[in-house]
Chain A
């Protein structure tokens, strides 16, 4: 796309027609202003006219008299003039004495009424406007100064604009309430609401400019609507297709757009979107009038129009100035999920939502794993040419946590026991639970099995234990779940244990994951009985973890007790981020953390590296001195997690430096140890073993040439480079030179490898979507 199309596009952008109400409002305000200004000007003119007249009269005294022929008269006049001069002096003195009173009076008047009221009486003036009050004919002009603010001056102007507004008079009943009233009404609704409620109310004439309720809903923070890009009929094009509630799963809005009735709860996944249409009295024309209520107890999560931690992209740093770079390991992948969600709905994500390191770390790379749990990391350092800048290099630092179980595999046999009672019908309950389970799936091995049992309402086995490689089947089963029905007790928990027992894995992880909002009506009455049941099953090797959702009747105590008896964790999941943490980082990576407070530090060699820049990790930066301070917290790494960091460096030999060398800086050669000329830098990693409070150190030089790099590692270097490039492009791509989406697709395609779960294929699709979203 070239700049021509930017201009063409700008030229083609057409503003919508103005709202007639706004137009009328502006016109009326302007006419008032006009009347005011004009009245003020007229008055000012009159004043100067009056003043000049006074002078004129004084002059006339002479002229008139001189035109008179009679000498006696002339004498009289001359005498009169004398007397006049004398009396003028006396009067002048008098004025000087009386002046303070006048001026005082005048000032007050001016302050009291700095400008006339702008209310315009639309009634036609009954009679002629009262004439301006007769001004005292005195020589001194001072009192006349107050005339403009006399109320008597106003009516003529008002009368003058009346005809101009005459044709608008049939609309004179409009109550312009504006923003303030609108927000007050919203506030009132929110204040009285029982649940977390957001409210929007129409301003002005009780009409929201949207065509239907679904569109109006997007005015509520945390609610977005997606439109149908193309529809069979032109009329339907651009209409709202989905209502997306932040924190809840996207759902079809089975809406009837023009009926003014809100979509019902979609397919059960969406937040309960309740739209109440309260007609506002005067305008019968309103298509969507009144109040919309969006009811949910979801805390507004960090998605949608919400705020992300703002951060600046790591700048290019000069080794001479700052040779050491320190940051914390980050195994979060939330950013990637968010970006994916945005792109899947056809939008580019907001820049601050894109954290490049989280996107890179979303994928599993083939970095060689460490050999023992005692020293759980083995850093892999690969230097390659940078695709983003000629003459620059990329340094990949990959660490793979020791995999406790991957090979001799305690495979997992998980049974999800889900509460589907009516009380789970809230976006932060069943829908969140379902999403959490989907998250969990992504952290399981393909051979692990997952079964699903529900209780309350529709009780019974929903899905026989199914290997995770049939991920789609499991996800579909989960998505079919509907809350509701009675809370009739069912033998839910027994069914779950039966299922787990039937597929028991010797030496593996056999675990029930109970997801509930506190309704433990699982089929066994009595708390103690339940505990005993769980304990007995634990002895057989089947554990229980409890995941709590929602608020209201959550029974944390019982959940804790059950989980302890079941050798599991009790976790409370309020957001997807928490689900991510609990199910992916803690339970997901085979339920074991292998190292905590993992910090990385790289010192660059000033004789070989001129500049460097860390790609991503902006929010994870640590101070140099934090590295050796064990009290400073950093990221944890679970079993088998990979952490990847990428530096882009400019070797000293390269001619393409980003930063010019300092003219006045110290030019002496840096003193470095001998024998380090073949190193770009030195990598240190600090970590604590899960049960330790003191950190351990791993060190490794970064060689100039990477030799004997296995083919699959090189491939993954290429893939992670593609992901990092994509992240940077989404963030604006200021440091990636001519890189574009097509390059990324090419790079990623050729480095997909086996891709057993299809993540990498999905990534390529995402890049394509980003390209389309940008071109739209």
Chain B
């Protein structure tokens, strides 16, 4: 749909790029929020993703859907952010932020708990759960974004489902 827009942006048209940002910022931000459950952090991730988009829009080759390509970019920004968080975990600066609950208090808590569990479950589990369940993508789409095969995604979804079915996993969740 916005192919010509992307081409113009790739050609260096700032107005087109701005329009592209306007179109996709919400998607980026919402995914980032789901990732971290926290508005300020989501803003950070989203901003990083926008910067990255600016830098690498030229590399988009129209082979995959633009949104898939965009998701891949956001996921990698989110992963970077996560790593930097872990690095600075003991910094005073990162500790002071309390959890933000948005309009529905349980969302934030529930998300952070489920996602923390999934992140511990293994590489890519959190990403898979978010893309497949929260973003409603098909396994093939998620696979394309995460750069793994569709069957890998299916296996991950199965593992997650199995994990969530365990009473142990559920019992540790405050809100289900």
Contact = CB atoms under 8 A, between A and B. Distances in A.
B33 A15 contact: yes
Interface in A1-45: 1-3, 5-7, 9-11, 13-19, 22-23, 25-27, 29-35, 37-38, 41-42
B111 interface: yes
A18 B103 contact: no
B93 A773 contact: no
A7 B136 CA distance: 10
Interface string A546-578: 000000000000000000000000000000000
A19 B33 CA distance: 12
B121 interface: no
B54 A34 contact: yes
A179 B91 CA distance: 14
Nearest to A186: B96
Residue of B9, B14, B17 ringed by the most chain A CB atoms within 10 A: B14
Contact of B167 (A25, A163, A733): A733
Contacts of B103: 16, 238
B120 to A, nearest CB: 12
Chain A interface mostly helix, strand, loop or mixed?
helix
Contact of A219 (B22, B51, B98): B98
A2 B54 contact: no
A642 B94 CA distance: 43
A479 interface: no
Contacts of A218: 98
Nearest to B174: A348
A27 B21 contact: yes
Contact of B18 (A16, A17, A164): A164
A776 B175 contact: yes
A14 B34 CA distance: 8
A10 B93 CA distance: 30
A160 interface: yes
A2 B136 CA distance: 19
B139 to A, nearest CB: 13
B19 to A, nearest CB: 8
Contact of A34 (B14, B39, B105, B136): B14
B175 to A, nearest CB: 5
Nearest to B26: A18
Given A3-B161, A774-B173, A26 B14 contact: no
Contacts of A734: 168
A256 interface: no
Contact of A6 (B12, B93, B176): B176
Nearest to A215: B101
A729 B171 CA distance: 6
B42 A15 contact: yes
B107 interface: yes
Contacts, number: 167
Contacts of A163: 14-15
A734 B105 CA distance: 27
A316 interface: no
B170 interface: yes
Contact of A738 (B167, B173, B174): B167
B105 A238 contact: yes
Contacts of B129: 10
A775 interface: yes
A10 B161 CA distance: 12
Contacts of B98: 218-219, 221, 305
A261 interface: no
B66 interface: no
B55 interface: yes
A164 B15 contact: yes
Given A30-B50, A740-B171, A19 B111 contact: no
A227 interface: yes
A34 B102 contact: no
A776 B104 CA distance: 12
B47 interface: yes
B63 to A, nearest CB: 21
Interface of B: 9, 12-15, 17-18, 21-22, 25-26, 29-31, 33-34, 39, 42-43, 46-47, 50-51, 53-55, 57-58, 93, 96, 98, 100, 102-107, 110-111, 114, 129-130, 133-134, 136, 161, 164-165, 167-168, 170-176
Interface of A: 1-3, 5-7, 9-11, 13-19, 22-23, 25-27, 29-35, 37-38, 41-42, 157, 160-161, 163-165, 179, 183, 209, 218-219, 221, 227, 238, 305, 347-348, 351, 729, 731-734, 736, 738-740, 773-776
26 contacts: A2-B165, A3-B161, A5-B176, A15-B30, A15-B31, A15-B34, A16-B103, A19-B43, A22-B43, A26-B25, A27-B18, A27-B22, A27-B25, A30-B51, A32-B54, A33-B55, A37-B58, A160-B14, A161-B14, A165-B18, A218-B98, A238-B105, A736-B168, A739-B167, A774-B170, A774-B175
Cβ-closest 5 pairs across A and B = A30-B50, A161-B14, A15-B33, A164-B18, A34-B54
Given A6-B164, A775-B176, 20 more contacts: A1-B176, A6-B170, A15-B30, A22-B46, A26-B50, A27-B18, A27-B25, A27-B50, A29-B51, A33-B54, A34-B14, A209-B39, A227-B105, A238-B103, A732-B171, A733-B171, A734-B168, A773-B175, A774-B171, A775-B175
